[in-house]
Structure 1
Amino acid sequence: MLRKTILALLVAAAVLIAIPLILVPIYTFAPIHPVSTLILRDHFTFRPYLREWVDLEAVAPVMRYSVIMSEDGQFCRHDGVDWGEMKAVVTDFLDGEETRGASTIPMQTAKNLFLWNGRSYIRKGIELPLALYLNLVVSKARILEIYLNIAEWDTGVYGIEAASQHYFGRSAVDLTARQAALLAVTLPNPAGRNPAAPTKRMNALADRVQRMARASGEYVACVKPQ
């Protein structure tokens, strides 16, 4: 009985490893529109949701820059993991201090595609190799395109096009710098933040993101329009 259980666990682990190994190369092709685990959950449980895929070229450049500068300032420079930030998190943990988030856009994309929500060191440990693999196989521009199209901006609202229409009644390509900044600062807490009715705290965060996006320069070179 124990042998059968161990064998079943090994087979399950092999399948879970094989899924991203197979799918990530497929996701490099532009006609493929990946979905997140949350979108799959909503689909198979018949929950209503909004999602409309748009290519990166159909997203206002200022939206791209705002998300990068808000979520992962070293996006164009790291290998999928910001090791400086990760080291700081580990140091804080070992010192008994409250840890901060160190998830990069590739890490968040890998989590959205293959893993589950919630804070967990197990999940974080799985995220790291997935993010490195994703970054190795997929271009930065394509990673950002996938991320922007599967991120959740409100309950059942997935992707930047659906979010733009939902909150501002306009397409993602027509977003203003202010709207882009407000959408970017909504990402860490989509259930508790409303970019169409920002709080004082949200406006302060958006001010900072707007300034960083305006001065982003080479930090966003990998996703600038060609």
Structure 2
Amino acid sequence: MPLRILKFFAKAVIWWLVITVSMVLLLRFVPVTYTATMLMDERSVTRDWEQLSSIDRNMVSAVIAAEDSKFCTHNGFDVEAIEEALQERLAGERERGASTISQQTAKNVFLWQGGGWFRKGLEAYFTFLIENLWGKRRIMEVYLNVAETGLGTYGVESGAQRYFGHSAARLSADEASRIAAVLPSPKTREAVNPGGFTRRYGNTIEARIGVVRRDGLDACVYE
């Protein structure tokens, strides 16, 4: 390979690192007001950024119970869950979700929805960056502000207002659990008068909140 091509690729890599690391560092301090998912949403988007200190701890415990019980102990990736998901794929079984809250945050903030190995590779890269440059508290804060909580609704503050008519600062365990139950499929699930599966799932999450608190599974967010 000619030297000039090597130099071109080396410069491209350096610029990529400078741009992406700078962007991640900036968003450690600046609210994430818009994402690619929001921009591509055909509906009118409702969003309302809130600091983590203004979001009830029940909401934090609920998403950890529902989405990522190892949030405080992994480095962004749940290796065991990934291995199990790969085994299920190879066996032709129904695939389970293996994405952590950190991975979902990286995808929601920096990338686009949908699959594909290229996007997965970028997701892993940005997950590594936010784990090392943001820390757990900031990751949780951003996740709770950019996650889709309903049709055209983003963030738990907007979700709380939409479903319960009050701020996310005073969500009960039941309310937080119902929002968490919506997160895997926000376009088809409702937190108010939920269907059978969503209702049962919300009840399961609410029961797990006690385990999260008892075992300190959300402790890293409040250190």
**TM-score class, shorter:** 0.7 to 0.9
Q: Report the Cα offset of residue 14 of structure 1.
A: 7.7
CA contact (8 A) 1:185 1:205 kept: yes
- What is aligned with 1:110? 106
- What is aligned with 1:38? 37
Is 1:135–2:134 an aligned residue pair? no
CA distance in 1, matches of 2:188, 2:11: 39
Q: Report the Cα offset of residue 214 of structure 1.
A: 1.4
- What is aligned with 2:204? 208
Q: Report the Cα offset of residue 13 of structure 1.
A: 8.3
Q: Report the Cα offset of residue 89 of structure 1.
A: 1.4
In structure 2, relative to structure 1, the CA distance for the partners of 1:91 and 1:18 (3 Å cut) is: farther
- What is aligned with 1:220? 218
TM-score (norm 2): 0.87
CA contact (8 A) 1:79 1:135 kept: yes
Is 1:99–2:76 an aligned residue pair? no
Is 1:158–2:157 an aligned residue pair? no
Q: Report the Cα offset of residue 115 of structure 1.
A: 1.1
Note the residue ranges of structure 2 that are not aligned, 5 or more in a row. 1-7
TM-score (norm 1): 0.86
Q: Report the Cα offset of residue 135 of structure 1.
A: 0.5
Equivalent residue letter for 2:31: H
Seq. identity, %: 34
- What is aligned with 1:3? none
Equivalent residue letter for 1:22: S
Note the residue ranges of structure 1 that are not aligned, 5 or more in a row. 1-7
- Matched position secondary structure for 2:20: helix
Q: Which region of structure 1 is more displaced relative to structure 2, 14-23 or 86-95?
A: 14-23
CA distance in 2, matches of 1:197, 1:9: 55
In structure 2, relative to structure 1, the CA distance for the partners of 1:141 and 1:95 (3 Å cut) is: same
CA distance in 2, matches of 1:194, 1:17: 40
CA distance in 1, matches of 2:11, 2:186: 36
Q: Which region of structure 1 is more displaced relative to structure 2, 13-22 or 108-117?
A: 13-22
Q: Report the Cα offset of residue 118 of structure 1.
A: 1.6
Q: Report the Cα offset of residue 19 of structure 1.
A: 4.3
Q: 2:170 aligns with which of 164, 171, 174?
A: 174
Q: Would you say how many aligned residue pairs link Structure 1 and Structure 2?
A: 214
CA distance in 2, matches of 1:37, 1:11: 27
Q: Report the Cα offset of residue 40 of structure 1.
A: 3.4
